[in-house]
Amino acid sequence: MKQWCLVCLVLLLIQSGKIVLQVEAGDGFISTRGTQLVLDGSPFYANGFNAYWLMYMASDPSQRNKVSSAFEEATRHGLTIARTWAFSDGGYSPLQYSPGSYNEQMFKGLDFVISEARKYGIKLVLSLVNNYADFGGKKQYVDWARSQGQYLTADDDFFSNPVVKGYYKNHIKAILTRCNSMTGVVYKDDPTILAWELINEPRCSSDPSGGRIQSWITEMASHLKSIDGNHLLEVGLEGFYGPSSAQKQQLNPYFQIGTDFILNNQIPGIDFATVHSYPDIWLSNSSDVEQLSFLKNWLNNHIEDAQSTLQKPVFFAEFGKSSRDPNFNMYQRDLLYNTVYSAIYSSAKGGGAAVGGLFWQLLTEGMDSFRDGYEIVLSESPSTASLIVEESEKLNHIRKMYARGKTPMMEREQNIRKTI
């Protein structure tokens, strides 16, 4: 009875933030080794999903079952990575009311997401701000600075104005040093988090040279790493090529947005590359056959560049096909998923740089207002769900081989000998 009372007292102190649990770096944290991610000494490959809505839904205790259901369904389909927002700036029910002023109810929602992810064995990629005005984004930061007398002419000033950059740096610190009210673990010490993402899909069209974003990434990566030396960091790039690889700019879908896949990912502190793939948006006037041809070329070039030039892992962090497209059919969506998954597996089984893919986006039943055309409700999409399970099993098989001290090449040779 006394032991039970002591346990209850400790839990209460954790909830109040008076006890902070320490987690040693290296205990469940994912690191990099060349072009591979590594967990507990073995290469780590994983299949995953996007669910931007997790914190928002979890901020309402009556809706937290949606988060639990999503994680439970994901786990049953072998999905072990979730990418989600750790931002909501200004506007309705935000995380950050104004610079440095936070909504505790929303923060507790994020606490729940991290706690629940740990429960289900899911690693998280947490994005820290949006390029777009949805959930505030860089526009909100610029507006906040304007209200304090800063003369700013465009949202792209987010990347260069010292006041705005100060606001964002403070947000980084607030997130990384948050003590989880449910686990007692400070975010920067929690191995449930796989990586931080600086910004979702950065774009700075006012500077096609890419210099402004390059400087911003360099500064912010250094700042974040000075606070958190445990976690990996990625930029949040879509994968567009810039001036540093002019011969490959022809692969871009007809526009330049001020990012540079090669240079941006070579910045010290950036641990792995990301690529997004939306041929139905980027090549909306092209046929399904042309879009698929573009996708294959897009995937293969980025895997090769990650392997040979960057010598870093690469995640295909967003991909999908909208059911709102004219003449949409499930076969074409499944073909896109299969194309992405096949490229990842082909690289991974040879020890290459592709380490996983995260489709956009996972929903559970009863979330119709969150549908955007790209949603996957696993119970409604059996053919797509089957492809997801298959990819999960393949990547998990590679992980198990490495854990047994084998490589995919060694296993193939062993299988060949068995047939002789």
Q: Which residue in the list 201, 238, 375, 391 is annotated as catalytic?
A: 201
Instruction: Please indicate whether residue 390 is annotated as part of the active site.
Output: no
- Helix, strand, or coil (residue 148): coil
Q: Which residue in the list 116, 197, 238, 318 is annotated as catalytic?
A: 318
Distance between CA atoms of residues 251 and 229, nearest Å: 35
413 contact partners, CB below 8 Å, separation of at least 6: none
Which candidate, 144, 138, 86, 94, places its Cα nearest to that of 114? 86
Strands of 40-87 (E only): list them.
Answer: 42-44, 46-50, 79-85
Burial class (CB in 10 A: 0-12, 13-18, 19+), 104: exposed
Distance between CA atoms of residues 282 and 410, nearest Å: 40
* The dihedral formed by the CA atoms of 176, 180, 186 and 187, expressed in degrees to the nearest 10: -40
Cα angle 55-370-201, degrees, rounded to a multiple of 5: 65
- The CA-atom distances, in angstroms, between 411 and each of 33, 36, 371, 416 are 22, 19, 42, 9
Q: Tokens 């909208």 — which residue?
A: 322
Instruction: Please indicate whether residue 201 is annotated as part of the active site.
Output: yes
- What is the distance of C-alpha 92 from the center of its chain? 24
Q: Which residues are catalytic?
A: 201, 318
